[in-house]
């Protein structure tokens, strides 16, 4: 059965002392232990945060990794490096990476491959911008992102992935997708998984919702049959809010 997951993407926020304060707060609070909690701090803090969480069930991820294996790629972080510090998760293709760093589906497919080679779970993000939804092209767009970025994987590999649906118009805007909009797209994604990999595999893959998810709306979103948790930005920067979301199933 698929896992319930709440992952906090800290993005480019927090100084070192603030990051330590946040993770200390998260580890000290209790939460529903059927939920896999994941924190995704800026990579510069990942070693320390991995050590600080090693006795807890909190998982640690990074926000981005390179599509290359190693070598002369100044400023990049490889999946092998991330594995060597025992980090278990990595975001792939967050919409901010797609938009500001021109990451294409093809590059994201390569990043995914590097992560899987190193036994790191990719949290593969997909999502449409407002114009695409308004022109009713959102289903086609998500299908394309998944076909080109993820569906080259075989059945064993896809089972080691998590998908996050994040409508770009809902990220950091305070506008959340309605519960029906979220369920509709998650069901669509599960159907795509079913067509490609079969029902059993489709039912085992967690699909997270992201975009202005907070303590006040998480319960309604997570109550949907195909919403298996959330990828949280703003609200993950506060320990109490993040834990309240984890307790919203």
- Interface ranges with ligand PGA (CB under 6 A): 9, 166, 171-172, 210-213, 231-235
Q: Which is nearer to ligand PGA, 210 or 229 (CB)?
A: 210
Residue among 96, 103, 128, 166 flagged as catalytic: 166
Instruction: State both tokens at 178.
Output: 């309605």
Q: Is 131 a catalytic residue?
A: no
Q: How far apart are CA 241 and CA 214, in angstroms?
A: 7
Residue 91 to residue 164: CA distance in whole angstroms: 9
CA distance 164 to 123: 6
How many residues are recorded in the chain? 249
Cβ atoms within 10 Å of 179's Cβ, excluding its own: 17
* C-beta of 202 vs 231, nearer to ligand PGA: 231
CB of 53 closer than 8 Å to CB of 85: no
Which CB, 79 or 231, lies closer to ligand PGA?
231
Shortest distance, position 173 Cβ to ligand PGA, whole Å? 7
Q: Are 121 and 115 in contact, with CB atoms under 8 Å apart? A: yes
> DSSP string covering 79-126, please?
HHHHHHTT--EEEE--HHHHHHS---HHHHHHHHHHHHHTT-EEEEEE
Bridge partner list, 124: 92, 163
* 184 given a catalytic annotation: no
Q: Name the residue with the smallest CB distance to ligand PGA.
A: 233
Choose the catalytic residue: 94, 128, 132, 186: 94
Work out how close the CB of 127 gets to ligand PGA at its nearest, in angstroms, rounded to a whole number: 9
Of residues 75 and 174, the one with the C-beta less far from ligand PGA: 174
Closest distance to ligand PGA from the beta carbon of 53 (Å): 20
- Closer residue to ligand PGA, CB minimum distance, 121 or 197: 121
Least separation, in Å, of the C-beta of 85 and ligand PGA?
A: 22
Closest separation between CB of residue 141 and ligand PGA, Å? Answer: 17
Render 13-52 in DSSP notation, one character per residue: ---HHHHHHHHHHHHHS---TTEEEEEE--GGGHHHHHHH
Q: Which of the residues are catalytic?
A: 94, 166
């Amino acid at each position: 059965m698929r896992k319930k997951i709440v992952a906090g993407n800290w993005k480019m926020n927090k100084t070192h002392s603030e990051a330590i304060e946040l993770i200390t707060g998260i580890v000290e609070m209790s939460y529903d232990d059927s939920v896999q909690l994941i924190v995704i701090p800026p990579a510069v803090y990942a070693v320390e945060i991995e050590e600080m969480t090693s006795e807890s069930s909190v998982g640690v991820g990074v926000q981005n990794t390179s599509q290359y294996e190693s070598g002369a790629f100044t400023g990049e972080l490889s999946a092998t490096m991330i594995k060597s510090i025992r980090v278990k998760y990595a975001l792939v293709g967050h919409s901010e990476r797609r938009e500001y760093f021109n990451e294409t589906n093809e590059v994201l497919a390569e990043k995914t491959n590097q992560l899987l080679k190193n036994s790191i779970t990719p949290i593969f993000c997909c999502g449409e911008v407002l114009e695409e939804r308004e022109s009713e092209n959102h289903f086609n767009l998500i299908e394309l992102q998944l076909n080109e970025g993820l569906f080259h994987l075989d059945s064993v590999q896809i089972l080691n992935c998590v998908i996050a649906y994040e409508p770009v118009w809902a990220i950091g805007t305070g506008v959340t997708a309605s519960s029906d909009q979220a369920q509709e797209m998650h069901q669509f994604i599960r159907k795509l998984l079913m067509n490609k990999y079969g029902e059993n595999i489709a039912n085992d893959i967690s699909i997270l919702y992201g975009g202005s998810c907070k303590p006040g709306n998480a319960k309604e979103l997570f109550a949907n049959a195909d919403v298996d948790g959330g990828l949280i930005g703003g609200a993950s920067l506060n320990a109490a809010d993040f834990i309240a979301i984890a307790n919203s199933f």
